[in-house]
Amino acid sequence: MHTSKLHPELELSAALYGALARKDAARIESLCGELFEFDPKSLTDGLDEEGLFVRRQVHEALDAALRGFILAEGADCDIWRRLLLPADVGVFTSGLWSANARWLRTTGSALPDTNDEVLEAEQLERLDLAEQARSLGRYCVVNDGSRAIAVGAVFDVLEKPLWPFLSSWLVTTYSCSPGRFTSHEAAVHQRTGLDEWLSRAECSGVQRAASPLEMESAYDAAYRADLDAKRIAVAVQGKAMAALFARLATLAPRDDALFAALPKGTRLLVAPNWREGHVSHRCLAPLLEGQRDLGTTALVIRERGSKERGPTASGWRNIEFELPGGTHQLIELGTLAAALSARQAEFAFFPEITPSNSSAWLAMQRLARVQATGYGYPATSGLESVDYFVAGAEVEPAGCEDAYSEQVVLIPGLGVSCSEPPAPRNPRTRPLDDPLLRVVSAAGIRKLGPDLLSAWNAVLGGCPSGTLDIFPAMSVRAAELHLPHLAKHLPHPQVSLHPSVDRNHLIDQLADADLYLDSYPFGGFNTLIEVVASGCPFVTLEGGQARNRFGAAILRRLGLPDFLICHSWPEYIAAATRILTDPGLRLDLRDRLADRKAVLEALADPHASAHFDAAVLWMLQQGPRTTPQPAAAVQL
């Protein structure tokens, strides 16, 4: 491919190959450092074909420099120390390079599948620290977990100074790389490797340094049925990342005057995305009306240049900040956290705690005497600094406390409520018994796992006149990148992927659809409200944790048939096929959902705010959690 202009990254890549030819170690290290400065996440954010080509060249050039020179067998330079050993503050100075294999896979490079690197305990055992480091680095820079390695055996023979790097690579790469889509075996290799690492991290004191990139893995783990999301959240966010932030916070300048206007003992809503229309606001705003009326302050902190824009939700007293990106963001967050702690707030509620914004980092600090979170992100934070998780009695199963590091407080109802979604702009025009059937999903890319896609393929296979439209809320570039991986498990020809559509357009499609397919292991809530409010039935697979139980709770609230709530993939496929092949059943389900007002009234809880206020009062009376292992869930 010929590029229309010489991209800066391509120019640097060419210079890197030149430095490799001259064996100019200083220049090679300098150029690698410059290339690491480019954020590879731009791969999924609007890159055209030319840009994708450039990024592939960049990561292949980095691979050539790392495996062919810096980490080559017998290399006489010691650059490996700066790559594989953490700095004094416990962070890897070039943490991005350890995820190079992930980005090679994402850009379509053949290297993750064609390289001849091996990582075997028997081989490592014979090497000294420097050669172990180079061998480990050569393997990690080009492999993303699609191949099996004996993680436990490798840890047993690896020099302890290298344990932090191996841990960081496993976490950063295994749970996030699209390599898990390449085959069922690849997903098994990744799960097994993470399980072996977790066993040592929990029981053997595996030393930890960290890269901020690891935060994404804790987030991604909740979207995979084959990973223990709580164990990963505790190990990554609760241990490694919390320790990293604490160390970086010591470098932050103090400015306790930042929040001088906040009265001591105040209540905080720490919500970077607290704006009209955001998913966390849509499902939690009705619960928090009482706290708003008490004068709770919404703390809205956004990364400078973030696309998450828009005014803070109306009616709230708020304080807003913008932060730079990168490590500087963490240091500035340390300043903010210290200033907030100085105000001695009485209560802080985090509607969501996710690494996609500043909420996770701030939740690692004790900003208030009592701290809690809820279903804005329906999975545990893994943080000792978060005392309580406010959940819904109609959603959580018996023994739900096992899925949380927080003390679970069950309030009556769903633990969320629904804001009325926009109505379809046009009524359905197709006849309800139309032989051409439309199936729809709005599951995002993280939710589209191999098992789910295979189930959808089976549903379409049992309905020759059916089509499936997927609206994954991703950029066109991201859709193109993931399409080959998705097609391996969903090869049916009647599938269409529709990236980047607005909410109103999606709702119009729901009104015209015959069936919506909920996702698993991370199902929907806000979208399912839009589905039934548009008159469309859905099937769901109910699991053992909140993130895969909202669909079942909604169906039970509406009194819809039990067969729509499935407990295995065969049941899920059979339920969807039954609806699609029975016109009378489709008409009956549509008729039950025809009264939009009645549907929304059944799902809205007029007492939701009072239930939440009672939970806050109880939590304040109990005070901060004093034991690391929470007790059984408390139902109010």
Contact between residue 287 and residue 609 where contact means Cβ atoms under 8 Å apart:
yes
Ordered structural domains, the chain, with CATH: 8-216 (no CATH), 256-417+609-635 (3.40.50.11380), 437-603 (3.40.50.2000)
Name the residue with higher pLDDT: 269 or 183.
269
Task: Please determine, for residue 206, whether its predicted confidence score (pLDDT) is greater than 60.
Answer: no
Q: What angle do CA 285, 306, 448 make, to 5 degrees?
A: 70
Work out the pLDDT band at 407, boundaries 50, 70, 90: very high
Q: Per-residue confidence at 3, pLDDT binned at 50, 70, 90?
A: very low
Q: Phi and psi for 502 in degrees, rounded to 5?
A: -80, 170
Name the more confident of 433 and 415: 415
Instruction: Write out the H or E segment, with its range, that includes residue 482.
Output: helix 476-489
The Cα 131–Cα 78 span in angstroms is 11
Place of tokens 């039935």: 537
pLDDT at 162: 92
Element (H, E) at 495: strand 495-497
* Distance spanning both ends of the chain, measured CA to CA: 64
Q: Which residue has the higher pLDDT, 188 or 544?
A: 544
pLDDT digits over 45-84, tens only? 555 677 778 888 989 999 999 999 999 998 888 888 888 8
For the segment 514-534, the average pLDDT, to the nearest whole number, is 96
Query: What's at 328, amino acid-wise?
Result: H
Helices (H) and strands (E) in the chain, counts: 27, 14
Which tens digits make up the pLDDT trace of 265-302? Answer: 899 999 888 888 888 888 999 999 999 999 999 988 87
Q: In Å, what is the CA distance from 532 to each residue of 277, 444, 489, 593?
A: 18, 19, 28, 7
Continuous segment of H or E residues that includes residue 347: strand 345-350
- Do 28 and 70 touch, CB atoms closer than 8 A? yes
Q: What is the DSSP string of 116-146?
A: -----HHHHTTS-HHHHHHHHHHHHTT--SS
pLDDT of amino acid 209: 60
> What is the predicted pLDDT for the residue at 4?
43
Contact assessment for residue 406 and residue 381, using Cβ atoms and an 8 Å cutoff: yes
pLDDT digits (tens, 9 = 90+) for 128-156: 999 999 999 999 999 987 888 899 899 99
Contact 575, 564 (CB under 8 A): yes
Q: Are the C-beta atoms of 338 and 252 separated by less than 8 Å?
A: yes
Q: How confident is the model at residue 191 (pLDDT cuts 50, 70, 90)?
A: confident
Residue 1 in this model has a pLDDT that exceeds 50: no
For the chain, the residue count is: 636
In 9-112 the beta strands, taken as DSSP E runs, fall at none
For the segment 500-516, the average pLDDT, to the nearest whole number, is 92
